[in-house]
Amino acid sequence: MSNRMEVVNIPEKGRGLIATQDHKEGKVLLEEEPICSAQFSWGRKLGYSCCFHCMRALEEPDECITRLTQGQITHLPENDWSAQGFKKIVPVVCQKTGLSYCSEDCLKKADYNYMRLLIPNWEAVMEVEDLWRDMHFPPEEASIMLIMKILAMRYLEPAMAAKFETFVASEDNSEAHKLLSEKFETSKLLLTDCLKKIFEGLTEEEVSWAFLVCGRNQQGLGTSAIIRWIQAHDDEEFVDKLYDTCEATCGLEFIDNEGVGLYALQAMLNHDCEPNAEIKFKHDTDTLSVETTRDIEKGDEICISYLDGCMLNRSKRTRREHLMANYCFHCNCERCSTEDSADESLCGEESSDEEGEFEEESFS
């Protein structure tokens, strides 16, 4: 643990990270590689090309923008980043699965960590992914491949079981999570039957455990072959055209190679509706950075938001409902505790919309 923070038990929250010194806005508090990560199934199906292990984008910038805009933009003008920072990646392809990696190192890590169990059962793995996509459509919020990876790691290395157990406390009310609700029981049973073809002796309890670990602790992540180019480009008119074209073709929410990961330290960061830190991905891989969004004093808890910017702007009731459905806790942060509840009468329409969303989605 960095000398910038320490793990403590916080009343009514459990573990959390406390600053052990003052930190200025914009400071990187920690950087962390995941225990494992996985791209969303539909993203890989639709040609979003990234390393199967670390999610580094494998496309060249021109290839990426051509795909995203369906050929309406085929070339990105040179700028400082493309002239100096871009390094072409020659993918390493696994001959047994056809999966692509950014390097031999990532292929070897994947093979040791989980693929040595998954590859002999690859036909069954693809069957599970097909079933998942039949049940769950974009935008995705969960990854069945992450489920299979952590199950494989748990089977291959008994010591990993204890490491994963730290993600879910024994007092967790697991049935409160929407992934394990009665609404999705049939879907979960179908997936369990398919997963048993891969993992000998797998039980329904182990599948529920895996969904709970991912559902409550996974961190969304995204990599892109063009984001660094966009950040370095000073022709605002061209960048606006690029975004407008992407919005019309694929939608702005589908620009990145998106997925999820499990991080040991990041999982200890609690939620606040007025966070003092945020997650960033600065290295074009699944390595995350935790960066302060305002000055933090020694002794302050370091908190991020589990909600996206749009959801943070919703009413207190809607935020709390979303957090309960996805993370099984009732938010009592300072904003929720002091926010005027007069707007609760305006939440009926929001709540109805939310319920409709939950009805339509499967394991998200």
Query: What residues does 37 pair with on adjacent strands?
Result: 261
CA distance 212 to 203: 14
Short-list 224, 229, 231, CA closest to 250 = 224
pLDDT tens digits for 164-190?
Answer: 777 764 444 444 455 555 667 788 889
> Which pLDDT band, with edges at 50, 70 and 90, does 351 fall under?
very low
**Token pair listed for 156:** 């291959």
The crossing angle, in degrees rounded to 10, of helices 236-249 and 61-68 is 50
Secondary structure (3-state) at 339? coil
- pTM for this predicted structure: 0.85
pLDDT tens digits for 58-103?
Answer: 999 999 999 999 999 999 998 888 777 667 889 999 999 999 999 9
pLDDT tens digits for 102-152?
Answer: 999 999 999 999 999 999 999 999 999 999 999 888 878 788 999 999 999
**Average pLDDT of the residues of the chain:** 86
pLDDT tens digits for 269-306?
Answer: 999 999 999 999 988 899 999 999 999 999 999 999 99
pLDDT tens digits for 20-40?
Answer: 999 999 999 999 999 999 999
